[in-house]
């Protein structure tokens, strides 16, 4: 996915502004959390939310996630699939079907 | 990106477990924030962190982000590029180069 | 602490605005997280932060914490002391002195 | 409130373990956010939550808030009251009564 146009555009955006100096893994982890909470704010008082606002905040979380993946040198799609295999093992269909109970209490 | 294998795998994982009933936009926004904070916990007391732990927590954040994108019917890559255009306008290179100052104080 | 003037002032503020209807434990938990992330934003790109901004964001987190304590009927000071006893047991001085290692790895 | 027994107990707990070295304002802001998200996790999939778990997570958030207040030298009760006055001005009763709309849209 090195030639992924989205990640390439983010790299150019960062390079143009010389912002990689600020994008330490720690700062990106803080930024992901800050943007996630802005997404959560769309739902602060209830389930209804403005889709445009949700979309933009989700884009911000995703942007910092892609920047962190780049910074630590991992492929976003690959790590999601790797983690999914571990989650499959923790939540076998026969036990987890229709349940939101955490694996350690399944 | 409908045939994106990663998003397809997440859809199958969710369907097998009948978990879409729990995946309301609000619950996914909470989940993204919860996982983001677990990622942040890797850096709670300093800049050094275990790369394997960071990778897995980042995968969890990305997973819930992809589930929310699916739930609200947006393409993850497209919304990141759309938002990037807005951010380019808020942070013009000549003003933002080498600076971490927020746009409203640039 | 029922006559704690701070908590009393928060109760009056909420009652005057008829906001208790919005202050479900879930909404207050979301609000605490949202305000915590605004506090974190003061440190997004480094250790230096504006003390006035930090103070105001900390006040927001504390405010929602006191509202949640009221809502679930617990005394803020008492629950902090109760938890401190449990933490003392998890982090005995001889093991934890000068270390930031989590109890499960001590 | 220098002689507040709760804050005094936290100071002794920290001193015994020589943990003040880890309690920079930035690390405490991260810790408040991390604990806030653990509180939120009690409500990840719905409004119902275990009161004991909520109480303990709330205690953790409050604990780090008190440690940060101590670190930056502010009185927790005083800053909550100061902020409440500003919030009263932003949300006048006649405008905000029964509404969860943010002040900038009131």
Q: Which residues of A touch B10 (CB under 8 A)?
A: 80, 84
**Out of C33, C46, C100, closest to residue B45 by CB:** C100
Mean pLDDT of chain D: 95
Question: For C82-105, what is the mean pLDDT?
Answer: 95
If you measure CA to CA, which chain B residue comes closest to A92? B17
Q: Which residues of A touch B97 (CB under 8 A)?
A: 16-18
If you measure CA to CA, which chain C residue comes closest to A24? C45
Domain segments of chain C: what residues?
Answer: 1-74, 75-106
**Out of C33, C38, C45, closest to residue A27 by CB:** C45
What is the predicted pLDDT for the residue at D18? 97
Quick: pLDDT tens for A8-61.
999 999 999 999 999 999 999 999 999 999 999 999 999 999 999 999 999 999
For residue C3, name the pLDDT band (cuts at 50, 70, 90).
low
The answer to whether the beta carbons of residues B93 and A70 sit under 8 Å apart is no
Gap from B1 CA to chain C (nearest CA, Å): 32
Quick: pLDDT tens for C37-87.
999 999 999 999 999 999 999 999 999 999 999 999 999 999 999 999 999
Quick: pLDDT tens for B29-68.
999 999 999 999 999 999 999 999 999 999 999 999 999 9
Homologous superfamily (CATH) for C1-74? MazG-like (1.10.287.1080)
Give me the total of CB pairs closer than 8 Å, taking one residue from chain B and one from chain D: 35
Gap from D104 CA to chain B (nearest CA, Å): 16
Chains adjacent to B (≥3 CB pairs closer than 8 angstroms):
A, C, D
Give me the total of CB pairs closer than 8 Å, taking one residue from chain C and one from chain D: 174
* Complete DSSP assignment for A30-53: HHHHHHHHHHHHTTTTSS---HHH
* Res. B28: pLDDT tops 70: yes
Quick: pLDDT tens for B79-91.
999 999 999 999 9
**Least confident interval from A12-16, B47-51, B101-105, C6-10:** B101-105
How far is it, in rounded angstroms, from Cα B54 to Cα D14?
A: 28
* Res. B2: pLDDT tops 70: no
Gap from C104 CA to chain D (nearest CA, Å): 17
Which alpha helices (DSSP H) does chain B contain, by range?
5-17, 25-41, 51-72, 76-90, 93-96
Mean pLDDT of chain B: 95
Quick: pLDDT tens for D66-96.
999 999 999 999 999 999 999 999 999 999 9
What is the predicted pLDDT for the residue at A106? 87
* Res. A1: pLDDT tops 70: no
Q: Which of C1, A45, C42, A40 is nearest to D76 (CA)?
A: C1
Partner-chain contact D38 B37, CB within 8 Å: yes
What is the predicted pLDDT for the residue at D106? 86
What is the predicted pLDDT for the residue at D1? 42
Quick: pLDDT tens for A75-103.
999 999 999 999 999 999 999 999 999 99
The answer to whether the beta carbons of residues D80 and D62 sit under 8 Å apart is no
Gap from B43 CA to chain D (nearest CA, Å): 8
* Res. C2: pLDDT tops 90: no
Q: Which residues of A touch C33 (CB under 8 A)?
A: 37, 40
Partner-chain contact C39 D18, CB within 8 Å: no
The long-range contacts involving C70-76, CB below 8 angstroms and separated by at least 24 positions, are: C70/C7, C70/C10, C70/C11, C71/C23, C71/C24, C71/C25, C71/C28, C72/C25, C72/D51, C72/D54, C72/D55, C72/D58, C74/D55, C74/D58, C75/C1, C76/C1, C76/C7, C76/D62
* Res. A4: pLDDT tops 90: no
Mutating which of C28, C29, C32, C33 best tests the B interface, going by the most B Cβ atoms within 10 A? Answer: C33
If you measure CA to CA, which chain B residue comes closest to A58? B65
> Looking up tokens 């290692």, which residue turns up?
C101
Q: Which residues of B touch D43 (CB under 8 A)?
A: 30
Which alpha helices (DSSP H) does chain D contain, by range?
5-17, 25-41, 51-72, 76-90, 93-96
Chains adjacent to D (≥3 CB pairs closer than 8 angstroms):
A, B, C
What is the predicted pLDDT for the residue at B4? 87
Mean pLDDT of chain C: 95
Chains adjacent to A (≥3 CB pairs closer than 8 angstroms):
B, C, D
Partner-chain contact D51 C62, CB within 8 Å: no
* Res. C1: pLDDT tops 70: no
For residue B3, name the pLDDT band (cuts at 50, 70, 90).
low
What is the predicted pLDDT for the residue at A2? 43
What is the predicted pLDDT for the residue at D3? 54
Which two three-digit tokens encode residue A72? 């630590």
Quick: pLDDT tens for D16-30.
999 999 999 999 999
């Amino acid at each position: 996915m090195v030639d992924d146009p989205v990640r390439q555009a983010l790299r150019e955006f960062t390079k143009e502004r010389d912002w990689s100096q600020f994008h330490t893994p720690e700062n990106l982890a803080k930024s992901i959390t800050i943007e996630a909470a802005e997404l959560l704010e769309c739902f602060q008082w209830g389930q209804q939310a403005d889709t445009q606002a949700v979309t933009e905040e989700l884009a911000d979380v995703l942007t910092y996630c892609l920047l962190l993946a780049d910074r630590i040198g991992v492929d976003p799609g690959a790590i999601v699939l790797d983690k999914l295999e571990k989650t499959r093992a923790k939540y076998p269909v026969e036990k987890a079907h229709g349940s939101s109970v955490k694996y350690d209490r399944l």
